[in-house]
Chains A and B, each alone.
Chain A
Amino acid sequence: MPLCLQRSFIARNLWLALLQVLLMGASRLLAQEPPYFVTYSDVLEEPGNLEIATQNIYSTPKDANPFYGQTVELEYGVTGWWTTEFYLQGQTTTHDSTIFTGFRIENRFRPLRSTHWVNPVLYVEYEDINQADKSFLEITGNHVIADQQIANALLRQDVERSIEAKLILSSYFQGINFSENFIAEKNVSNEPWEFGYALGASRSLANGASPRVCRFCRQNFSAGGEVFGGLGTRYTFGFAGTSIYAGPTIAYSTLRNLTITAGPEFGVNDNSARVLWRLKASYEFNQVRDLFRRSR
């Protein structure tokens, strides 16, 4: 693909993502979620709040067509200890096609009622996703980027319905959040268990808040980094034969309920793409359930 066309493709998709960001409405709130794309922390959605997010990813893998993946997330805080989330995913591959790749439903539960030095969260997900999916929301099993060379028309025929569980551990030290995710996934057909991991660390850029209203105070920014990859299957457990990504992330929370997270994630072995460019915009609707109460 000519370089100028690649650039215009990136620019078009990033502008589309930014447009989505700007079209979102306004009220006040700072999200408290850490700036991770893949790693989950112990932070759940506040009860009654609905968060809508769009997560965009762009990559130009070696020997494969550039692709742009998009995931739309709807996250709702059912209670203080239970958050449920619904995902819709799709992707565009240059010189190929634009397709819907599937959906996920996930639930996260906080089993303990106090904060400890390690805070566990249990995660259960059902996913119905075809092999053409390029969302990179996690990596399990023996995922290699060379698989992306296959045409969408062939990949989409192979639909994977699986149950996924994660053990999320999160802790805090000197204001830094450390999160570790251990992933186990089982296709409901007769395929072996697949495993993966994600690790992240982040912190707010300011210890104390400013007493004045400001758009670009340090307290509105948080920075961090994450590493994630596969761990093979039950029979091929280990770091070999799977991809690994690592990279920095930065998040900016506006005073208008909007959080923008961006960062590159670099492939650290030959099974990975060189870089995944990510941009996520999330908007939180406060106390949606109040709209359904009788007396307002």
Chain B
Amino acid sequence: MRRTLGLTCLFLSTAIFLYAADGAWLHRISHADHDRTSPFGNDPAQLQNAAAAGAQLFQNNCAKCHGSDAMGKYSRPPIISERIAHASDGDLFWLLTNGNPWKGMPPWMMLPAKQRWQLVAYIRSLNLNTPDSSSTSQEKPQ
């Protein structure tokens, strides 16, 4: 009985981990959130300034888990990845706002919205050279 229970727990936790590892959070984002755009628009100067501020916020708040080089630490995922490069600004803003607490990512609602958008600008700038980032479809995953 105990062995069956143990195996069941192992199976369930593996399933949950695999579900989390495939970017399942992307499927929880509504179309409205996915389509949100950055308040900094496409102005390169504004985006550069926002990314610089986002870099400070990243080092202060995010680097402890994701590494100061944003390449991840242990089981904490990298911020520079194909999945992040393919996510829209709205997706990233949603992730910062809601987090993924059941998988370890806390929500960052305590940061004002503008600071969260600055973080999005920085994360976007980190992923500019990621393979396939130029062909980012920005389409909502089905």
Contacts and interface: CB of A to CB of B under 8 A. Distances in A.
Interface of A: 28-30, 32-34, 41-44, 46-49, 79-81, 110, 113-115, 119, 172, 175, 177, 203-204, 206-213, 219, 255, 286-287, 290, 293
Contact of B104 (A43, A79, A203, A290): A79
Contacts of A172: 109
Interface stretch (B2-10, B57-65, B79-87, B131-139): B57-65
B110 A209 contact: no
Given A30-B60, A48-B65, A208-B115, A293 B109 contact: no
B98 A115 contact: yes
Contacts of B97: 115
B112 interface: yes
B114 A255 contact: no
Contacts of A41: 110
A30 B61 contact: yes
Contacts of B101: 44, 79-81, 110, 113
A175 B104 CA distance: 23
A46 B64 contact: yes
A295 to B, nearest CB: 9
A42 B110 CA distance: 9
Contacts of B59: 28
Nearest to B118: A209
Q: Residue among B104, B105, B112 with the most chain A CB within 10 A?
A: B112
Nearest to A44: B106
Contacts of B98: 114-115
Task: Classify chain B's interface size.
Answer: 35 or more
B74 A80 contact: no
A177 B113 CA distance: 12
A204 B112 contact: yes
B55 to A, nearest CB: 8
B53 A208 contact: yes
Nearest to A115: B98
Given A114-B28, A293-B74, A80 B100 contact: yes
B114 A208 contact: yes
Contact of B49 (A114, A177, A211, A286): A211
In the A-B complex, list the 8 residue pairs whose CB atoms are closest, starting with the nearest.
Answer: A211-B52, A80-B101, A286-B64, A175-B112, A208-B114, A209-B53, A32-B110, A30-B60
A211 B59 CA distance: 12
B105 A80 contact: yes
A114 B73 CA distance: 24
B113 A175 contact: yes
B48 to A, nearest CB: 9
Nearest to B111: A32
A33 B65 contact: no
B74 to A, nearest CB: 6
Given A113-B100, A208-B118, A210-B56, A29 B112 contact: no
